[in-house]
Structure 1
Amino acid sequence: MTTTTRPAAATRTRPARARALGIGLLVLQVLLAALFAFAALPKLLGDPVAVRMFHEIGFGSWFRHFTGAVELLGAVGLLVPRSCGFAAAGLACVMIGATISNLALGAPGAAVTTIALFAVLVVLARARRNTFLPVR
């Protein structure tokens, strides 16, 4: 029977990488939470630009309030370890709707931003998937 041992350097590198990845994901969560909280506030507080934008897409104030609430809850969810993966997946779905709305309004630059946010949120949801899925 042979046993394989790993060099000491390889053993130390793996936990260091995992720690760096964990810290990077945590920083990403905090930045995204701040971004979505700041994006939700104008919708919830009735900023004229947000009111006009939701009027242009054909939804009333109820949808503006709903979107702002979902974004704010998602921002809080990103900061709670057990709900981070679920919150990231939910906000990714919000970004799909935002992309469609931006394209319908003729704002391709904003659509590129929402597509990029969608991709980042999907990566975060995948990385934190064990926070809302049972581990087998």
Structure 2
Amino acid sequence: MSSNAVAGRTEIPARGRKTNRLLWVLQIVVGLDFIAGGLAKLFGMQRMVDLFDHIGAGDWLRYLVAVVEIVGGIGVLIPALSGLAAIGLATLMVAATYTNVVIIGEGWAPVAWFVLVVIIAWGRWPQTKALFTRFSH
């Protein structure tokens, strides 16, 4: 019996060592990028202000997206929350893709970020499942 089982915690199946390392590199890159993007929106970088003015939603949406990006970016860096945060960021990227393609007409750039956060969500699914299991009891 492992020390985690003795302490009353369940074992979380791990991905392979190489997969885990690649996921961590991806999580760090994605996390830092979302934090930086969120801060640019939060502090009113002119390019971000202009972008959200073009969308026509006003500052409230820019602030909301900023907070979601910062929280999500931090979340992917926390082992127990990384998968859940990635799911949240994937949802945000679906909305960003719609906005970019339909409203702004700028292209499909958010799809690349969507793919990256889906990879993180998949890779960290055992931790996410354990998180849900822990709170459902």
Give TM-score scaled by structure 2 length: 0.80
Code of the residue aligned with 1:127 in structure 2: it is G
For CA contacts below 8 A with separation 6 or more, give which structure has more relative contact order. 2
Task: Report sequence identity in percent.
Answer: 34
Partner residue in 1 for 2:114? 118
Count of aligned positions: 116
Q: How big is the shift at 1:132?
A: 1.9
Please report the TM-score for the alignment, with normalisation by the length of structure 1.
0.80
2:56 aligned to 41, 55, 58, which one?
58
CA-based RMSD of the aligned residues comes to 1.4
Structure 2 residue runs without a partner (length 5+): 1-14
* Residue aligning to 2:12: none
Aligned to 1:96: 94
- The residue number in structure 2 matching 1:42 is 40
Paired residues for 1:1-136 under 5 Å = 18-103=16-101, 104-108=103-107, 111=108, 113-134=109-130
- Could you tell which deviates more after superposition, 68-77 or 95-104? 95-104
Unaligned runs of 5+ in 1: 1-16
Give the C-alpha shift of residue 123 in structure 1.
1.6
More helix by share: 1
Amino acid aligned to 1:105: I
